[in-house]
Amino acid sequence: MSTAISMASMSTYAILGCGSVGHAVAEELVAEDKDVLILDQDEGRVGALRDQDLDARRADIHAEAAAEAVADRDVVLILSPDVDANLAAVENLGDREGDRFIIVRASDPVMADELRAAGADVVINPSAVIADSALRALEQGELEYKATQLSDLLDGGDSVGILAHRSPGPDSIASAVALQAIARSRDVEADILYEGEIGHQENRAFVNLLGIELVSLAETNLEEYDTLALVDCAKATEPVVDGDVDILIDHFEPEVDYGATFSDIRSNVSSTSTIMTKYVQEFDLSLSEEVATALLYGIRAETLDFKRDTTPADLTAAAYLYPFANHDTLEQVESPSMSPETLDVLAEAIRSREVKGSHLVSNAGFIRDRDALSQAAQHLLNLEGITTSAVFAIADDTIYLAARSKDIRINIGNVLQDAFEEIGEVRGHSTDASAEIPLGIFTGLEITGDNRETLLQLTEQAVRSKLFEAMGVESGSSNDGSNGS
């Protein structure tokens, strides 16, 4: 179709072949006061259409005369079940001058290709449209059923504890915020529980700017809650809670059997925030700015701003949330200020990085701010060609390590488990993990002011070797551009 004609300017229509599909389209167009001409070779059908005050004429759409009759129309819809007749009509229209938009019915992908080659602008397959509509109806029906189950569980008690994974990220926190809002809309008290730390500066900014209240798991008793829920916890390297839970919602299949009464696991989406957005819509929740902003950020963070494994469902959810979100707050969350020490740690991590294949390991030396490690690991993951990063350092008498991965073939939590489970504590999941290793166990030496540098040297090569081995990278396979310490 020529760029000289726009959809807004299209006011005259023609339908060639007016079976059940064409009739339905004609009725919709006429209801919108469009000028519609119908051509069909069945005399009885043409008469019935005229009885409905439709402009219908008898014509064989194979014939050039039919194409001539509709050549001045802005839009021509060729909807006969006879695909050979449809192809002839497209070819006949192509032989005529003028700008028109041609929509044509096909029966299969091969015929669709032929029709496009003949000049059709849009090709539709009614069977595919019906199947797609059926699947959407099925998905909606399943969501309604799940929402009823979820509401019954929430209504069965007066309080719910919502557990995010250890040191939770944006997707986990945002999903918990949405479930909390759903619970409160049903007059059920809900707390968001976590253990570990909100370490990354962006995550702290996210929590602080949106005023999200998080309760430390160490400061509460899970038995106080009538209902327990886990959100975005499937990729945790160890059980988030001992025993069964009532509600489990995630976009990954869980690696631990929590015996959940209610579960909604959708591996066909890329964030738990996407799932929770569907529930917000299904419960017809009056969406607050805080919840919308949290969910939108959760989707963006989990998909790396729609650059990683993004699905149509993620985009649809984000489009729904977009008008309700506070974009100034999002900008502040995504651009938090960096402390001088964090900058120093990042500089040292860049200087001492070592790269093997697409995997990067770096030593940041001695540090005071352990949170800076996670930020350094995230920044190094953004280097060209890097899919996995790990940064370690010494603080007091412990080796602290933060790792990140965007490689779908690697579960970075499992990598750290393989490397350090026997000598330290490992937490995390497939894309984000951390480890704490007592320095004395690792080196067999006590820390004193005189041996700090010696300990650093002993630690460095051992940690690097264990990490690269657990990542499946052979020793000596460093990139030429890598930077050893």
- Of 411 and 7, the one with more pLDDT: 411
User: So what's the pLDDT on residue 279?
Assistant: 95
Taking 3-state DSSP, the helix, strand and coil percentages for the chain, each rounded to the nearest 5, stand at 45, 20, 35
pLDDT of 396 over the 80 cut: no
pLDDT tier at 10 (50, 70, 90 boundaries)?
low
Segment holding 16, helix H or strand E:
strand 12-16
Beta strands 388-395; 359-366: pairing state: parallel
CB contact at 8 A, 299 and 271: yes
| pLDDT tens by residue, 322-360 | 999 999 998 888 776 667 878 888 898 899 899 998 999
User: So what's the pLDDT on residue 3?
Assistant: 38
Segment holding 415, helix H or strand E:
helix 412-420
C-beta neighbour count of 139 within 10 angstroms:
14
pTM higher than 0.75, yes or no?
no
User: So what's the pLDDT on residue 167?
Assistant: 78
As given in the structure block, the two tokens for residue 271 are 């964030």
Segment holding 55, helix H or strand E:
strand 55-58
CB contact at 8 A, 178 and 280: yes
Task: For residues 30 and 231, give the distance between their C-alpha atoms in angstroms, rounded to a whole number.
Answer: 49
As given in the structure block, the two tokens for residue 285 are 């929740």
* H helix intervals, 156-255: 170-185, 201-210
φ, ψ of residue 389 in degrees (nearest 5): -135, 145
pLDDT of 482 over the 60 cut: no
As given in the structure block, the two tokens for residue 32 are 């919108």
User: So what's the pLDDT on residue 199?
Assistant: 65
Sorted by sequence, the CB contacts under 8 Å of residue 384 that are 6+ apart come out as none
φ, ψ of residue 223 in degrees (nearest 5): -70, -15
pLDDT tier at 443 (50, 70, 90 boundaries)?
low
User: So what's the pLDDT on residue 483?
Assistant: 37
For range 356-381, the mean pLDDT: 86
Region of poorest pLDDT, from 84-88, 234-238, 262-266 = 234-238
- Of 279 and 437, the one with more pLDDT: 279
DSSP category for residue 219? G
User: So what's the pLDDT on residue 238?
Assistant: 65
**What is the residue-averaged pLDDT of the chain?**
85
For range 449-459, the mean pLDDT: 68
C-beta neighbour count of 18 within 10 angstroms:
26
CB contact at 8 A, 283 and 181: no
For 320-330, give one letter per residue: b (16+ CB within 10 A) or e.
bbeebbbeebb
CB contact at 8 A, 298 and 270: no
CA separation (Å) from 367 to 68, 180, 344, 397, 444? 80, 37, 9, 11, 21
pLDDT of 260 over the 50 cut: yes
pLDDT of 386 over the 70 cut: yes
- Of 38 and 32, the one with more pLDDT: 38
| pLDDT tens by residue, 180-221 | 999 999 999 999 998 877 767 778 888 888 889 999 888 888
pLDDT of 481 over the 50 cut: no
User: So what's the pLDDT on residue 441?
Assistant: 61
Residue 329, Cα to own-chain centre: how many angstroms?
20
What is the number of residues in the chain?
Answer: 485
User: So what's the pLDDT on residue 4?
Assistant: 39
Beta strands 425-428; 359-366: pairing state: unpaired
Sorted by sequence, the CB contacts under 8 Å of residue 177 that are 6+ apart come out as 192, 210, 212, 290, 291, 294, 295
DSSP category for residue 305? T
In a 13 Å sphere around the CA of 141, the CA atoms on its Cβ side amount to 6
User: So what's the pLDDT on residue 345?
Assistant: 86
pLDDT of 447 over the 60 cut: no
Sorted by sequence, the CB contacts under 8 Å of residue 241 that are 6+ apart come out as 163, 222, 228, 230, 258
For range 130-147, the mean pLDDT: 84
| pLDDT tens by residue, 289-308 | 999 999 999 999 888 788 77
CA separation (Å) from 260 to 116, 153, 190, 479? 50, 11, 18, 46
Region of poorest pLDDT, from 7-11, 45-49, 128-132, 250-254 = 7-11
pLDDT tier at 90 (50, 70, 90 boundaries)?
very high
CB contact at 8 A, 267 and 253: yes
- Of 460 and 160, the one with more pLDDT: 160
pLDDT of 246 over the 70 cut: yes
pLDDT tier at 320 (50, 70, 90 boundaries)?
very high
DSSP category for residue 78? E
Task: For residues 372 and 378, give the distance between their C-alpha atoms in angstroms, rounded to a whole number.
Answer: 10
Question: What's the chain's Rg over C-alpha atoms?
Answer: 30
As given in the structure block, the two tokens for residue 192 are 């968001």
C-beta neighbour count of 75 within 10 angstroms:
22
User: So what's the pLDDT on residue 445?
Assistant: 54
**E strands, 94-226, in order:** 101-105, 122-124, 159-163, 189-194, 214-216
For range 469-479, the mean pLDDT: 66
Determine the 3-state secondary structure of 273 from DSSP.
Answer: helix
pLDDT tier at 2 (50, 70, 90 boundaries)?
very low
